[in-house]
């Protein structure tokens, strides 16, 4: 039994299809329209979007059915018959096996499958599949669906053309984005050793090349300095010049980018030198620093890949300009580092030559060169009673001779000192580069125990004989360059002289300390008894006052005001700032609108969804009036979906208004000038800082941080208000210190009320924190006593 012919309500379908630009929404409109006309059935709309690699893709469904989205092979089951016949087909379920419609996941009994192909300009763009659960559709109904299929095919062709044009635009934008990202990556590092492989790898990824060669100018030739990928016609270390006939040499002579295809003579000659793979196309561009040639970028593709074209050459030219700028910046860094090395060497020489304190000299030698030499550990061992002992190690204040790491180092330094010559040993992978087998074996064990892969040691000797040995090591085997080694040799000469002088001075007896004490005792004992008693009484009274008289102990330090809370207002959607409602310094409350993003698209979406929702509700009511509950249920489902979409669109519209989350003051200068700026999701727009209260960070010296407690009262005097004193309490004491010059400071955060908003972030001053009552002597002599104790402990501590 067939359904009687009916008039399809397709009058509004063309305008609805025109309102949508993409193939997905158009497919959903067609599926819904066909499902409305064919009751007791489900509808699936399939598309074939790539004619070069055709496959079925389910883009829309209507009714109670699930389907594998695809892609499905073109010859799959009944869909394969549609691809072959390209006409309206109908199959009874008894004539099919389950494998013929395996792409369907259906929970009801299927009676028939009907197919209407979508053909435009003799190309199969897809089909409409009708799954019948009762009687199959009539011939008249399928003919009407066929008329809709003709309209749908035209709509799908337009949508595919729109998608192709959009993808082409996106590809252009993507290429520009890649160029921008590559420029950022190039400029993100100034290390020449890191920059060169990055340039080769990023160029290869961008242009999809088999290999990238980076030629650098060295003297009057080009040297193949770095290579990424597999190029059978070039090897690292190869040289070319303009007269040699090589491609890189030609580019260096002309200063212009060049494109070579397989039939070009230069590429034929290049391939003749290759033993295996052959290059199918090659592009090369000069690296220019102003008017000077820095190098040449050479990019190759093999014969089995698509050849380069002018677009690829243009991209390489743009990348070459960015690479040349990055190389220029890196060369400036190298020059600055040479100056920094010389300045540091002078500074270290002044430090170790300006004192006779042996400990200070030792620490300066093993620590300060780390500013310019990338070692991880330096050690200095000196002769003591005929035996070598480690006196200083980088970052270690006291040497623990029982530490296994120190024991390993001591063994190596004693062995090195016996050689009476400098030694430089490195390990790459499993290879240790030293000609002596005993040296290789010794350092294999040492490197396994310590994790180091590079070791350099130099003896410290002068006219009086051997003084010790100085060593440097790192987990990077190539941590020392030729410049670093020259610096170490100069440092060793300076260190030898400074250590010899400090050692001689240390051997002088303590007569400078003992003699003044003996003299003072002699003078005191020469006084008569009465005067001695008076002096002892006065001294006793002073001691009692110092011990018993309590006074407040205050910890002081520089102070800086910071806001208690800061909100960084950021864009919640991509868009353009349409209007800014506030100015710098304006006070705002929570929820205050700060700026308005362009919301034309969101408003249009809300208006469209409201209209569609109202229309759907009206159709529900009309269906109920017509006593058609099935159609009313379908309309109600559509209305429910539209209501959800309307809610989502309304939320997106609300996010275009940026609001303050806190009460505070706008802190961004010239914020009103941001109108018209395009922002991406998460981009910062302005800053709002709270003013109800502020935090004042007081820098406390390391020796005083143990006195602080949360809740201690504090007073702050700021340079902006020299006649006022602000009170607060310690809220937080920083758990980690910061190095400031030669000292380490900790920060106590003081919470200070700011009801009138007069205190502003960045104000500076001085803060004092009261830590309780202490004896007068404790307050007055605490700092010198701590210093004296640390010195004594360093000399005699256990």
Outline where 354-473 has alpha helix (H). Answer: 358-367, 404-419, 437-450
**pLDDT computed for residue 511 by the predictor:** 41
Q: What percent of the chain has pLDDT over 70?
A: 92
Write the CB contacts of 793 (distance below 8 Å, at least 6 apart in sequence): none
Outline where 86-138 has alpha helix (H). Answer: none
**pLDDT computed for residue 117 by the predictor:** 94
Write the CB contacts of 346 (distance below 8 Å, at least 6 apart in sequence): none
Q: To which residue do tokens 């007073």 refer? A: 715
Q: Are 392 and 496 in contact (CB under 8 A)?
A: no
Residue 488 reports pLDDT greater than 80: yes
pLDDT digits (tens, 9 = 90+) for 208-224: 888 888 888 887 788 88
For the residues 240-257, what does the mean pLDDT come to? Answer: 80
State both tokens at 782.
Answer: 């605490």
Compare 778 and 73 and report the one with higher pLDDT.
73
Q: Are 301 and 308 in contact (CB under 8 A)?
A: yes
Q: Which helix (H) or strand (E) holds 372?
A: none
Residue 245 reports pLDDT greater than 70: no
Region 13-166: CATH code: 3.30.450.40
**pLDDT computed for residue 780 by the predictor:** 74
Neighbouring C-beta atoms of residue 710, cutoff 10 Å: 11
Residue 515 reports pLDDT greater than 50: no
Same fold yes or no, 13-166 and 355-506? yes
Write the CB contacts of 215 (distance below 8 Å, at least 6 apart in sequence): 222, 223, 224, 225, 240, 248, 252, 295, 296, 297, 298
The rounded distance, in Å, linking the Cα atoms of 200 and 189 is: 14
The rounded distance, in Å, linking the Cα atoms of 145 and 150 is: 9
**pLDDT computed for residue 7 by the predictor:** 38
For the residues 472-476, what does the mean pLDDT come to? Answer: 92
Work out the burial of residue 547: count CB atoms within 10 Å of its CB; fewer than 13 is exposed, 13-18 middle, 19 or more buried: exposed
The rounded distance, in Å, linking the Cα atoms of 377 and 366 is: 8
Q: To which residue do tokens 């009874």 refer? A: 92
Give the alpha-carbon dihedral of 585, 588, 591, 593, to 10 degrees: -50
User: Domain residues of the chain, as ranges?
Assistant: 13-166, 189-335, 355-506, 513-548, 599-655, 692-796
Q: Which CATH class is domain 189-335?
A: alpha beta
State both tokens at 168.
Answer: 């082409």
Check the CA dihedral 432-436-440-443 and report its sign.
negative
**pLDDT computed for residue 471 by the predictor:** 93
State both tokens at 320.
Answer: 């070459």
**pLDDT computed for residue 115 by the predictor:** 93
Query: What single string gives the DSSP state of each residue in 191-243?
Result: -HHHHHHHHHHHHHHHHT-SEEEEEEEETTEEEEEEEEE--TT--TT-EE-TT
The rounded distance, in Å, linking the Cα atoms of 578 and 674 is: 9
- What Rg do the C-alpha atoms of the chain give, in angstroms? 42
As beta bridge partners, residue 128 has: 45, 116
- Indicate the pTM of the whole model: 0.38
DSSP letter (8 states) at residue 586 = -
Q: Are 511 and 365 in contact (CB under 8 A)?
A: no
The rounded distance, in Å, linking the Cα atoms of 285 and 322 is: 12
Topology given in CATH for the domain delimited by 355-506: Beta-Lactamase (3.30.450)
Q: Which helix (H) or strand (E) holds 122?
A: none
**pLDDT computed for residue 171 by the predictor:** 60
As beta bridge partners, residue 658 has: 595
pLDDT digits (tens, 9 = 90+) for 308-330: 888 888 888 888 888 888 777 77
**Which of helix, strand or coil describes residue 142?**
helix
For the residues 442-456, what does the mean pLDDT come to? Answer: 90
**pLDDT computed for residue 162 by the predictor:** 82
According to the 3-state scheme, what is the secondary structure of 599-618?
CHHHHHHHHHHHHHHHHHHH
As beta bridge partners, residue 580 has: 595
Write the CB contacts of 44 (distance below 8 Å, at least 6 apart in sequence): 31, 58, 60, 61, 65, 67, 104, 128, 129, 131
pLDDT digits (tens, 9 = 90+) for 427-443: 988 888 888 888 888 88
Give the alpha-carbon dihedral of 466, 468, 474, 477, to 10 degrees: 10
In 3D space, the residue among 383, 377, 343, 373 whose CA is nearest the CA of residue 499 turns out to be 383
Greatest mean pLDDT among 174-188, 345-359, 445-459 lies in: 445-459
For the residues 504-515, what does the mean pLDDT come to? Answer: 55
Q: Which helix (H) or strand (E) holds 283?
A: strand 279-289
State both tokens at 769.
Answer: 């924190």
For the residues 138-166, what does the mean pLDDT come to? Answer: 85
**pLDDT computed for residue 11 by the predictor:** 65
The rounded distance, in Å, linking the Cα atoms of 163 and 165 is: 5
Residue 131 reports pLDDT greater than 80: yes
pLDDT-derived band of residue 8, with 50, 70 and 90 as boundaries? very low
CA 286 to chain centre: 30
Residue 106 reports pLDDT greater than 50: yes
Q: What percent of the chain has pLDDT over 90?
A: 9
**pLDDT computed for residue 455 by the predictor:** 93
The mean-pLDDT minimum among 3-7, 52-56, 188-192, 705-709 falls in 3-7
The rounded distance, in Å, linking the Cα atoms of 40 and 138 is: 13
**pLDDT computed for residue 564 by the predictor:** 67
Per-chain mean pLDDT for the chain: 81
Region 692-796: CATH code: 2.40.30.170
DSSP letter (8 states) at residue 396 = B
């Amino acid at each position: 039994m067939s359904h009687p012919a009916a008039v399809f309500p397709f009058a509004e379908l063309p305008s609805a299809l025109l309102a949508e630009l993409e193939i997905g929404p158009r497919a959903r409109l067609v599926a819904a329209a066909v499902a409305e006309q064919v009751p007791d059935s489900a509808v699936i709309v399939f598309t074939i979007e790539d004619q070069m690699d055709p496959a079925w893709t389910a883009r829309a469904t209507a009714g109670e059915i699930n389907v594998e989205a695809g892609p499905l092979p073109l010859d799959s089951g009944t869909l394969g018959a549609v691809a072959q016949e390209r006409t309206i087909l109908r199959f009874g379920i008894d004539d099919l096996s389950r494998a013929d419609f395996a792409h369907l996941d259906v929970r009801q009994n299927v009676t028939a499958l009907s197919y209407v192909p979508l053909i435009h300009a003799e190309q199969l763009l897809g089909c409409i599949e009708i799954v019948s659960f009762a009687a199959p559709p009539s011939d008249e109904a399928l003919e009407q669906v066929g008329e809709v299929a003709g309209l749908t095919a035209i709509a799908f062709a337009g949508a595919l053309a729109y998608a192709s044009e959009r993808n082409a635009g996106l590809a252009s934008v993507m290429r520009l984005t890649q160029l921008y990202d590559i420029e950022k990556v190039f400029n993100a590092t100034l290390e020449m050793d890191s920059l060169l492989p990055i340039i080769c790898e990023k160029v290869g990824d961008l242009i999809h090349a088999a290999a990238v060669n980076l030629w650098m100018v060295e003297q009057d030739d080009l040297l193949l300095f770095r290579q990424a990928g597999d190029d059978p016609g070039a090897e690292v270390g190869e040289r070319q010049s303009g007269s040699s006939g090589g491609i890189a040499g030609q580019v260096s002579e002309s200063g212009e980018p060049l494109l070579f295809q397989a039939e070009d003579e230069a590429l034929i000659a290049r391939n003749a030198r290759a033993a295996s793979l052959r290059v199918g196309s090659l592009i090369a561009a000069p690296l220019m620093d102003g008017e000077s040639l820095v190098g040449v970028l050479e990019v190759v593709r093999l014969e089995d890949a698509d050849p380069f074209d002018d677009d690829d050459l243009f991209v390489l030219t743009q990348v070459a300009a960015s690479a040349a700028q990055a190389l220029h910046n890196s060369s400036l860094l190298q020059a600055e580092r040479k100056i920094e090395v010389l300045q540091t060497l002078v500074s270290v020489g002044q430090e170790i030559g300006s004192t006779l304190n042996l400990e200070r000299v030792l620490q300066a030698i093993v620590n300060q060169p780390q500013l310019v030499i990338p070692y991880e550990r330096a050690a200095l061992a000196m002769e003591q009673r005929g035996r070598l002992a480690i006196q200083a190690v980088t970052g270690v204040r006291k040497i623990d001779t029982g530490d296994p790491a120190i024991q390993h180092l001591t063994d190596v330094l004693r062995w090195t000192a016996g050689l009476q010559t400098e030694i430089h040993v490195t390990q790459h992978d499993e290879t240790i580069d030293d000609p002596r087998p005993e040296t290789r074996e010794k350092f294999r064990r040492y490197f396994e125990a310590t994790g180091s892969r590079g070791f350099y040691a130099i003896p410290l000797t002068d006219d009086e004989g051997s003084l010790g040995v100085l060593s440097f090591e790192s987990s990077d085997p190539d941590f020392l360059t030729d410049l670093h080694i020259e610096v170490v040799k100069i440092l060793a000469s300076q260190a030898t002289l400074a250590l010899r002088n400090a050692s001689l001075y240390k051997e002088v007896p303590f007569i400078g300390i003992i003699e003044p004490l003996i003299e003072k005792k002699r003078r005191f004992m020469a006084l008569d008894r009465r005067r001695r008693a008076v002096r002892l009484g006065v001294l006793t009274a002073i001691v009692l006052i110092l011990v018993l008289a309590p006074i407040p102990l205050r910890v002081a330090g520089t102070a800086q005001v910071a806001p208690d809370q800061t909100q960084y207002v950021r864009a919640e959607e991509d868009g353009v700032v349409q209007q800014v409602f506030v100015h710098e310094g304006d006070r705002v409350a929570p929820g205050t609108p700060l700026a308005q993003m362009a919301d034309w698209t969101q408003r249009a979406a809300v208006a469209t969804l409201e209209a569609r929702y109202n229309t759907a509700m009206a159709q529900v009511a009309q269906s109920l009036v017509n006593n058609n509950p099935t159609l009313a249920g379908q309309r109600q489902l559509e209305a429910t979906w539209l209501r959800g979409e309307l809610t989502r669109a309304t939320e997106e519209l609300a996010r275009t208004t940026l609001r303050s989350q806190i009460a505070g003051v706008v802190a961004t200068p010239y914020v009103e000038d941001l109108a018209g700026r395009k922002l991406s999701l998460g981009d910062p727009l302005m800053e709002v800082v709270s003013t109800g209260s502020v935090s004042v960070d007081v820098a406390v010296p390391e020796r005083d941080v143990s006195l602080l407690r949360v809740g201690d009262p504090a007073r702050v005097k700021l340079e902006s208000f020299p006649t006022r004193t602000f009170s607060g309490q310690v809220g937080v004491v920083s758990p980690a210190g910061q190095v400031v010059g030669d000292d380490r400071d900790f920060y106590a955060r003081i919470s200070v009320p700011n009801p009138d908003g007069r205190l502003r972030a960045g104000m500076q001053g001085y803060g004092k924190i009261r830590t309780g009552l202490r004896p007068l002597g404790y307050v007055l002599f605490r700092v010198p006593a701590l210093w004296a104790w640390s010195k004594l402990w360093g000399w005699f501590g256990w």
